[in-house]
Amino acid sequence: MTVDIRVIRAGQIHRYYLRETVVGDGHRPARTPLRVAQEQAGVPVGRWMGRGLAALGLAPGEEVTESQLRNFFGERGRHPYADRIEADRLAQGASPAEAHRAGALGRQVMVTGVDFVFRPQPSIYLLWAFGDEETRRVIEAAHERAIVRVLEWIEDEVAVIRYGKDGNYRVRPPGGLVAARFRHYEARSGRPLLHDHVLLSVKGQRLDGKWGSIHTTVLHENTVAASALYNELVAAEVCEELGLATEPRTVTEGRRPVMEIAGVPHGLIRWTAQRSDQIAACLSELEHEYVTAVDDDGEPRFLPVVSERARAKLERIAARKTRPPRKGKARSLGQLRADWTASAIRTSGVPADVISSLLEYARAAAAAIRARVVAVLDIALAAVDVTATVFVMNNGGRFHRRHLLAEARRHLALVLRGRRHPGLDDQVVATAITAHCLDISEPTTVRGLEAGYRLYTARWALSDLPARRRPPAAPDPERRSPADSGEPPAPRPPGQDAGEWEIPRVPLQYDRAVLAGAVVREQLRTTTIVVWGCAYDVVVHQQAAMPEQLLAPDPADPEHDDQEQKPGRRGALDLAALRALRDSRTDVEALDLTAERLRHLQDAFTAAADRAHTTMGRYTRRDDAETPQPGRRDDQQAHRPQEPGPHRGRDAGH
C-alpha cells in the first residue's frame, strides 16, 4: 500500500513528532525553534488542512506552529490556541479550573489522532527526483491534490463520531476534520522518497456544537480503500499532465501486481529498494525462527508453516529491527536531487542517458501502449472480477462494502491505464452487490445496521478454489520438532546463509482469485455487450488490461483471408507470451490458463452449484423476495442468465 496509518498518542508528540517528524525524520537540536529547525533540515513548514479548520479559527494552508501541535495533539486534544484562551479567561476573572476547561475540546483522550503517510508509486517519485523543475512541480501538485481529495472522502464517507452510551450513536462530522501535513523528501536510507505525514486529529464537532472523538477503527478499516483512491488520483493526474501511461508489474510472485509508470526501468526501482532488501533478509531469518521455535517441552510453539497473517507481523518486526539510524547532515532539495542522480548513475546499473532522459523514455512507452491498448471498461465484467477476487481473498468468503470498493479502484487502475472517470468505482461496487453478492447480515447492534457494515458473500461458490484456506495438518505427536529431532541437523547447502533455505509457507491467494474471476468470465465469453456505444467481448476486456506486447493477432487463414474481421474480436491471447512475460514479472494475467485447465474449472464450477442449496438455503426466501437490480441496465441486461442459477431458489433449474 502507498498509504500507511498509525495511532498518535499524547506522549508521542513530544518524544517523536516534535523531535523528528516535523524536521524530515532528522534530529531536531534542543531549544531550537521549529521554523529554524525546518529551515536547517531543508524541509518546508507544516500546513493545516481539512474542512474543520474554521471552527478552530484556522485557515487551510496556514503554517503549523509548535504550540498548536503541542496543544492539539500532545495535551490530550485541546484547542490549538488553548494558551491564549486560558489567558483571556483568567484576565476576565475566571478560576484556573474554568480557564482550563474553556481550552478543552470535549473530553480528554489518550489517542489524539492518526498519522497517515502518503507516498506515490516508486516510478512516480523517481520521475520527480530525476525530472526537471516542471516535472517536479506537476508531481508535487498531483500528490497534494490527491491527499486533499482522500481527506474529503474520509470526511464525507468514512469518519464517524461516536456518542451516547457505549458509543452506540454515530454521526458524520458535519464541519469536517482537521489535519496537519508535513512534507518529507527522502527515506532513512538516503534514497528519494516523496511522502507526506498527515496528522489527522480525532476531534470533530457535532451538530449540537459539542466536540466528540472520531472512531479510529473505521479509519483503519478503510485504509486500503484510501490507498487505492490516492494511487488512482495521483497516477491519473500525472499521466494526463505529462503524457504518460501505467502498466502492471509483479513485484512478488503470487501477490497482486502494482501499477507503475511505463518506461521507468525496473532496475531503477530496485535501486530505491535498499530498505526492502534489508527487510527481506531479516524476514527470512525470522520465518526460520518461527517454524523451528519450540517450548520448554520440545513442542512446536507455532504452526509449522508461515501464514499470511504471521508473515505480515514478521514483516513489521523485520522493519523495526532493520531501521537505519537517523540521517546525518541535512541537505536542500537541490543538493539531494544532484546526489541522487550521481548515485543512481554509479550504482543502479541503468545507463546515464536513460536516467537523464527518464521522462522522454516514459513518454515513448506511453505512446506505444496507447496506440495498441484501448482502455475500455465494462461495468458487468468488472463487477465479476471484483467480486471473485474479494470472495476468494477474504477468509470464509465474507466481506463488506469497503473490500469491494478497494478492489474496484485497483481494477480501474489496472484497466484504464492512467485515465480516470469519477464515479466508476461506486458503479462497479453497486453492480457487484446487486448482481453477484448475497446479504448475509444478522445485525445485533446499531453498528451492524449501517450500510458500510453489511456482510456479504458471493452468490456462487468454487469448490476447487475455496475461499477459506485449509489449515495445515496438525503435527504428529510422536514426531519430534525440527529443533529437537535427536539427530544432527542436515548440512546447510553451500553458499547459503541462515534464512536462505526453503521455508514452508501457506500459498498466496491472489493467483486463486484471478482463476476464480477467469472461471466466471469464461461463462460469459460468447456474450457481446455494448458499453458507451462500442461492442466488444471478454477477450477485449482482458486485453485492455495487458501491455501491448501481449496482444497477439489471430493466425492467418488463407481460405478466409478475404473476410472482414468480426466486430469486437481483436485476437486471441498468446499463452506463450503470457508464460514468457510471467518470468519478466510485468503482467497480472500471466497464468497458464490452457483450454483443458479452463474446462476443468468449468466442471468444478458446475459441480459446486449443485451443493449451493445447503450453503444458501437459509437465505433463499429473502433472496427470492429481493430480486437484484442491475447497476447499469445497458451493461447488465446481456449478462443476465437465461435461467436462474442454483442460488436463486429451491426450485431453480440446474
**Residue pLDDT, tens place only, 34-93:** 999 999 888 999 999 999 999 999 999 999 999 999 999 988 889 999 999 999 999 999
What one-letter code names the amino acid at 346?
Answer: R
Q: What is the pLDDT of residue 447?
A: 65
CA 400 to the chain's CA centroid? 16
Q: In the chain, which stretches have pLDDT less than 50?
A: 464-501, 524-594, 612-613, 615, 618-654
What one-letter code names the amino acid at 472?
Answer: P
End-to-end CA distance of the chain: 42
Q: What is the pLDDT of residue 288?
A: 84
Q: What is the pLDDT of residue 446?
A: 64
Distances (CA, A) of 19 to 38, 202, 319, 331, 339: 11, 22, 21, 18, 26
Q: What is the pLDDT of residue 236?
A: 93
Distances (CA, A) of 442 to 435, 445, 455, 456: 20, 9, 8, 11
The size of the chain, in residues, is 654
Q: Which residues contact 283 (CB under 8 A, 6 or more apart)?
A: 311, 314, 315, 318
Q: Specify whether the CB–CB gap between 259 and 231 falls below 8 A.
A: yes
Q: What is the pLDDT of residue 232?
A: 93
As given in the structure block, the three cell numbers for residue 67 are 504550540
Q: What is the pLDDT of residue 200?
A: 96
Q: What is the pLDDT of residue 598?
A: 53
